[in-house]
Amino acid sequence: MTQTLPRRISVRNPRTGQNDFEITAATGADIAEQAARLRRGQSAWAQKSLEERIAVLQRWAERVQSCRNAITTADSTDTGYGQISRVAVDMTLGHIRRYSLSAAADLKAAMRQGQSPQNPLVRYDCVLKPIPLVGVISPWNGPMHMAMLHAIPPLFAGCAVLVKPSEVTPRFVGPLRSSIQEVPELAAVFDFVLGDGATGAALIEHVDMVSFTGSVSNGRKVAEACGRRLIPCELELGGKDPIIVTSEADLDAAASAVLRGGVTSTGQVCFAIERVYVDAKVHDDFVSRLVNKAERVQINYPDPLSGHIGPFISHRQAQLVDAHLEEAIAKGAVLRCGGKSFNRGGGLYMLPTVLTDVTHDMLVMREETFGPVIPVMRYNDIEEAVSLANDSLYGLSAAVMAGSEAEALTIARLLNAGNVSVQDAYLTFFAGPAESDKFASSGVPGKRSGLQRYLRREALLINSGKPACLLEQSMQSL
């Protein structure tokens, strides 16, 4: 009988361009074994009180803090020392603090009790039962942060969680898993499997719900696979976020907001600013200010802890961004600063790239670019600005910079997006407990908010009177 050899996957270092790390892809049998083990642990985890689960997760937070340096180094190596990696541990600890404070109210809000409006002798109560095993498939652009963003809430709800991180950025798993193993109660219900898309597809076959973050094309595959199994899924997909800058806005502040929103983490953020609409009366002034600021941005080479933006995490992403840029210029866009990606020490970098004279028939205005490219388009009135901003398959988030908060809010309410930053951009990180529904190709959220999406509500119907007797009822009364 032929023995199948382990499938090895090489991992590229985004700063050197070299494959200097390797993972072994989990097989279907591996995933089945992991899932079975986590399901066994979940029974005891769900029976713990919320206070007991909070205490366990807070103990884990202490272990994460003690492993901070190792986790940060691993995550930063995967991303070329991107900004999100530097604060990934703090954001994870923040998620634990947030749900420690809000979980009780969240679960209370999910309860339903009362009296039947049809029969005063029948009352109803409910039991909240955690979904046993939640699978998380996380992306490469924020390795630890994005994995933990979707893994931590179901743990508070009483679920077990199995995470499949991107094969592009798996280094953080080692030190983070070590912190989990120091908390046995958590290790019984929380683990990782490594591998690529085939591993993710196998994972879906062994879990009861999927939380996926990634591209629209892969999100469709996940949704179809979950549909075949009739299990719920929540999808966090792409973005093509617009910002509207009015003639009365503080143009210097607007240029700062657009630059930060467009190039932080080299633009490899789903809610990065990717389309800028500026009132024609102030367009040239705004562009001049934006270019002046953009030309002062530096890459973090050769010192990874200096500069403002790092390399592309994925070399394929650099190729895609270059293709968007080339296509726009070929169709008449004007390059105001920056340009195509370039190699430094094996890493692929791109300086902030500002384009003008763009139109909606260019890829850079239609499809997710996911790089530090800022296309600026003029508009003649607010109705046109809103129409242009809403003319997209995406609707993750948006932003408005206006002369006053009141003016900005009026415009914000007209935009089709999951959330809208007002008088700033890139505020999604600070949304806290706010829940939003995405539009179109930006994803499919859970049907309920917060921890409730990871719970199944079982109705208990209690009759305080005698059961009805069929023999005492006529067909007419039935």
Spatial neighbors of 311 by CB under 8 A, at least 6 apart, are 14, 15, 80, 266, 299, 301, 344, 347, 348, 349
Instruction: Annotate the chain with three-state secondary structure.
Output: CCCCCCCEEEEECCCCCCEEEEEECCCHHHHHHHHHHHHHHHHHHHHCCHHHHHHHHHHHHHHHHHCHHHHHHHHHHHHCCCHHHHCHHHHHHHHHHHHHHHHHHHHHHHCCCEECCCCCCEEEEEEEEECCEEEEECCCCCHHHHHHHHHHHHHHHCCEEEEECCCCCCCCHHHHHHHHHCCHHHHCCEEECCCCHHHHHHHHCCCCEEEEECCHHHHHHHHHHHHHHCCCEEEECCCCEEEEECCCCCHHHHHHHHHHHHHHHHHCCCCCEEEEEEECCCHHHHHHHHHHHHCCCCECCCCCCCCCECCCCCHHHHHHHHHHHHHHHHCCCEEEECCCCEEECCEEECCCEEEECCCCCCHHHHCCCCCCEEEEEEECCHHHHHHHHHCCCEECEEEEECCCHHHHHHHHCCCCCCEEEECECCCHHHCCCCCCCCEECCEECCCCCHHHHHEEEEEEEEECCCCCCHHHCCCCCC
Q: Do residues 206 and 239 make contact, with C-beta atoms less than 8 angstroms apart?
A: no
270 catalytic per annotation: yes
Which residue shows structure tokens 């004279």? Answer: 357
Total residue length of the chain: 478
Q: Do residues 377 and 383 make contact, with C-beta atoms less than 8 angstroms apart?
A: no
Q: Which listed residue (236, 274, 367, 368) is catalytic?
A: 236
Q: Do residues 267 and 371 make contact, with C-beta atoms less than 8 angstroms apart?
A: yes
CA contacts within 13 A on the Cβ side of 367:
14
Beta bridge partners of 136: 163, 211
Beta bridge partners of 304: none
236 catalytic per annotation: yes
Q: Which listed residue (67, 159, 226, 270) is catalytic?
A: 270
Distance CA 132, CA 42 (A): 6
Which residues are marked as active site?
A: 236, 270
